[in-house]
């Protein structure tokens, strides 16, 4: 059903209710129940074995590293990790599910009751989205629809990749907050180093559950589920379109059918795929080949201790330690790698504000233009810090500092040595500065006469002329001081 993008929220008569189910691949080298590789992009069906192919007699063995990562993910989301959880068989038939069932967790999941803060309410209180549960499961294979004109290909490399499914409570009331929740969730998982959370490669996929009710009602409406969204913009657009569709149906006296929907980003439309199953349709029962998962309190405590500083804590610390604006902090926290590098640069430079400006400006522009990963950028944090220190001390002008940065991308020398060799260091010697000022006065006698007669607004013009004559090497602060002494 095609719908125009609705930015108004639909007025006050109808309320949007959203819950998200996020499937996140864990960063293990082998699958959850066998030793096959989990690497992305390998030849189709090359990373398979009797276990992930579902051959008769093959038995699963749980991957201990997957359990550790799933536990850390749960703790990073503020969840209570249960000492005992149970794997179950979720039965359904689809070409990319070779066993005819998926090993997942049902009524006894790994963890419950977490929360993510996505912003602030109008009264400045935190806007919290609760996490209902986190459970472990195996991924299915992948259906490939664009390889053949008249057939669908099946690649089972992904079958058996370890996942956590993170299910929110239906606390989200706008499409924008749905995208914000997904962004914060992705960020937390990346910081915790439990997943690369690469949406383009499918290691983070989002299902959006949407229902609509009259404002003031407390009962939930009939929901639809938009499956496998892989970008934040798709989450927001798809939710807006489905909200508009459901409002239109309900306002006309119609009834919403519970069904699975697909979002077509090329046509910007949401359309039905199939009727939505309930839990009874999957005929869950405990997995007979896996015992209950038992986690000792000491093990859970060890996984908590293994977590790094997470975005909420780092956000608070950056504000207190570096006195940066909220917008700057959000940009720096976008990835753990960027935040770590900023702190290294700030320490080397001794000036956090300038370090933030350089990281968010020149450095990210360079990374985006070259395609070089930030970790491999040729201007190390130590060298960038030294460059910034030269700028702070007045030895480099703003323009010269940017010229030096460009040179350092190709030159491995120290910033001071390279700047000196390139003639970029600012000249602060009074004798040299006076000589340039005298030459400018001689070449622009009329302007000089007006300035010395008291026309102070010409000082900026004369400073510019001195800077031009010195090829930008004159210290503008000292030039201003020397000119002010000559003014009328």
- What's the CATH number where 445 sits? 1.10.10.410
> Among residues 90, 179, 88, which one has the least CA distance to residue 129?
179
160 domain-assigned: yes
167 domain-assigned: yes
Q: How many CB atoms lie within 10 A of CB 169?
A: 16
Query: In this model, does residue 54 exceed pLDDT 70?
Result: yes
Q: What angle do CA 147, 91, 63 make, to 5 degrees?
A: 80
Which 3-state string (H, E, C) describes the chain? CECCCCCCCCCCCEEEEEEEEEEEECCCCECCCCCCECCCCCCCCCCCCCCCCCCCCCCCCCCHHHHHHHHHHHHHCCCEECCEECEEEEECCCCCCCCCEEEEECCCCCEEEEEEEEEECCCCCEEEEEEEEEEEEECCCEEECCCCCCCCEEECCCCCCEEEEEEECCCECCHHHHHHHHHHHHHHHHHCCCCCCCCCCCCEEEEEEEEEEECCCCCCCCCEEEEEECCHHHHHHHHHHHHHHHHHHHHCCCCCCCEEEEEECCCCEEEEEEECCCHHHHCCEECCCCCCEECCHHHHHHHHHCCCCCHHHHHHHHHHHHCCCHHHHHHHCCCHHHHHHHHHHHHHHCCHHHHHHHHHHHHHHHHHHHCCCHHHCCCCHHHHHHHHHHHHHCCCCHHHHHHHHHHHCCCCCCHHHHHHHCCCCCECCHHHHHHHHHHHHHHCHHHHHHHHCCCHHHHHHHHHHHHHHCCCCECHHHHHHHHHHHCC
Residues 164 and 120 in one domain: yes
Q: Please, which residues bridge with residue 452 across strands?
A: none
Residues 240 and 103 in one domain: yes
Mean pLDDT of 118-131: 92
Task: Give the range of the structural domain holding residue 478, as residue numbers without chain letter.
Answer: 430-486
> Among residues 129, 95, 90, 119, which one has the least CA distance to residue 107?
90
Residues 87 and 205 in one domain: yes
Q: Please, which residues bridge with residue 131 across strands?
A: 114, 168
Residues 468 and 358 in one domain: no
- List all residues 6 or more positions away from 432 whose beta carbon is below 8 Å from its beta carbon: 474
Which two tokens mark 245? Answer: 């569709």
Residues 292 and 406 in one domain: no
Give pLDDT, residue 477.
Answer: 85
Q: Provide φ and ψ at 155, rounded to 5°.
A: -115, 115
Residues 241 and 265 in one domain: yes
Residues 330 and 405 in one domain: yes
1 domain-assigned: no
Q: Whole-angstrom Cα distance, residue 260 to residue 225?
A: 5
Residue where one domain finishes, among candidates 366, 398, 421? 421
342 domain-assigned: yes
Give pLDDT, residue 459.
Answer: 92
pLDDT digits (tens, 9 = 90+) for 406-450: 999 999 899 999 999 998 898 888 898 999 999 999 999 999 999
Query: In this model, does residue 146 exceed pLDDT 80?
Result: no
Least confident of 62-76, 293-307, 426-440: 426-440
Give pLDDT, residue 471.
Answer: 78
Q: Whole-angstrom Cα distance, residue 104 to residue 87?
A: 6
Residues 326 and 471 in one domain: no
Q: Which residue has the tokens 């009259």?
A: 214
Mean pLDDT of 172-197: 96
Residue where one domain finishes, among candidates 390, 421, 452? 421
Give pLDDT, residue 149.
Answer: 75
The answer to whether 129 and 168 have CB atoms below 8 angstroms apart is yes
Residues 245 and 341 in one domain: no
Percent of the chain, pLDDT > 90? 81
The answer to whether 48 and 56 have CB atoms below 8 angstroms apart is no
Q: How far is the CA of 393 from the CAs of 349, 389, 472, in angstroms? A: 11, 6, 16
Query: In this model, does residue 88 exceed pLDDT 90?
Result: yes
Residue where one domain finishes, among candidates 370, 401, 421? 421
173 domain-assigned: yes
Residues 403 and 258 in one domain: no
Give pLDDT, residue 487.
Answer: 77
6 domain-assigned: no
3 domain-assigned: no
Give pLDDT, residue 7.
Answer: 39
Which two tokens mark 134? Answer: 């986190």
Give pLDDT, residue 292.
Answer: 98
Give pLDDT, residue 120.
Answer: 87
The answer to whether 311 and 340 have CB atoms below 8 angstroms apart is no
The answer to whether 49 and 89 have CB atoms below 8 angstroms apart is no
Residues 204 and 236 in one domain: yes
Q: Could you tell me the pLDDT band of residue 160, with boundaries at 50, 70 and 90?
A: very high
pLDDT digits (tens, 9 = 90+) for 446-484: 999 999 988 989 999 999 999 898 877 888 888 999 998
Give pLDDT, residue 75.
Answer: 98
Query: In this model, does residue 48 exceed pLDDT 90?
Result: yes
Residues 245 and 350 in one domain: no
Q: How many domains does the chain have?
A: 3
The answer to whether 270 and 260 have CB atoms below 8 angstroms apart is no
Q: Which residue has better confidence, 393 or 146?
A: 393
Give pLDDT, residue 4.
Answer: 37
Mean pLDDT of the chain: 92
> Among residues 111, 53, 133, which one has the least CA distance to residue 303?
111
pLDDT digits (tens, 9 = 90+) for 199-254: 999 999 999 999 999 999 999 999 999 999 999 999 999 999 999 999 999 999 99
Q: Which residue has better confidence, 278 or 173?
A: 173
8 domain-assigned: no
Mean pLDDT of 89-96: 91
**Distance between terminal CA atoms of the chain?**
75
To the nearest 10 degrees (0 to 180), the angle between helices 476-486 and 430-443 is 60
Q: Whole-angstrom Cα distance, residue 418 to residue 452?
A: 39
Give pLDDT, residue 65.
Answer: 98
């Amino acid at each position: 059903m095609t719908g125009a993008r609705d930015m108004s929220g639909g007025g006050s008569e109808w309320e949007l209710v959203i819950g998200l189910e996020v499937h996140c691949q864990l960063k293990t080298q082998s699958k959850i129940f066998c030793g096959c590789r989990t690497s992305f992009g390998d030849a189709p069906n090359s990373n398979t074995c009797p276990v992930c192919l579902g051959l008769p007699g093959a038995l699963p063995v749980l991957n201990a590293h997957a359990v550790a990562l799933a536990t850390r993910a749960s703790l990073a989301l503020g969840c209570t990790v249960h000492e005992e959880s149970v794997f179950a068989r979720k039965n359904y038939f689809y070409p990319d599910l070779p066993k005819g069932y998926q090993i997942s967790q049902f009524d006894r999941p790994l963890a419950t009751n977490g929360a993510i803060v996505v912003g602030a309410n109008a009264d400045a209180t935190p806007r919290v989205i609760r996490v209902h549960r986190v459970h472990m499961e195996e991924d299915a294979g992948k259906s490939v629809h664009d390889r053949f004109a008249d057939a669908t290909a099946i690649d089972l490399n992904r079958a058996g990749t370890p996942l956590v499914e993170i299910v929110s409570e239906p606390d989200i009331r706008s499409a924008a907050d749905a995208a914000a929740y997904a962004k914060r969730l992705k960020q937390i998982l990346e910081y915790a180093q439990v997943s690369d959370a690469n949406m383009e490669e499918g290691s983070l996929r989002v299902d959006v559950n949407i229902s609509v009710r009259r404002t003031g009602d407390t009962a939930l409406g009939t929901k639809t589920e938009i499956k496998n969204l892989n970008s934040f913009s798709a989450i927001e657009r798809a939710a807006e379109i489905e909200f508009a569709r459901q409002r239109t149906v309900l306002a006309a006296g119609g009834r919403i059918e519970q069904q699975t929907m697909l979002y077509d980003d090329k046509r910007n439309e949401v359309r039905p795929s199939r009727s939505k199953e309930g839990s009874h349709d999957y005929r869950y029962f405990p997995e007979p080949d896996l015992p209950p998962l038992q986690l000792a309190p000491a093990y859970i405590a060890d996984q908590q201790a293994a977590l790094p500083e997470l975005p909420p804590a780092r956000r608070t610390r950056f504000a207190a330690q570096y006195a940066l604006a909220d917008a700057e902090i959000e940009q720096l926290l976008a990835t753990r790698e960027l935040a770590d590098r900023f702190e290294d640069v700030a320490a080397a430079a001794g000036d956090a504000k300038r370090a933030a400006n350089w990281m968010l400006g020149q450095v990210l522009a360079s990374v985006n233009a070259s395609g070089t990963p930030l970790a491999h950028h040729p201007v190390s944090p130590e060298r960038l810090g030294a460059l910034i220190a030269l700028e702070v001390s007045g030895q480099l002008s703003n323009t010269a500092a940017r010229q030096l940065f460009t040179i350092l991308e190709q030159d491995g020398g120290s910033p001071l040595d390279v700047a000196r060799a390139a003639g970029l260091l600012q000249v602060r010697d009074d004798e040299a500065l006076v000589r340039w000022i005298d030459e400018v006065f001689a070449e622009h006698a009329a302007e000089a006469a007006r300035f010395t007669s008291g026309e102070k607004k010409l000082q900026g013009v004369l400073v510019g002329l001195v800077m031009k004559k010195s090829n930008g090497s004159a210290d503008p602060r000292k030039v201003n001081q020397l000119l002010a002494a000559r003014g009328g």
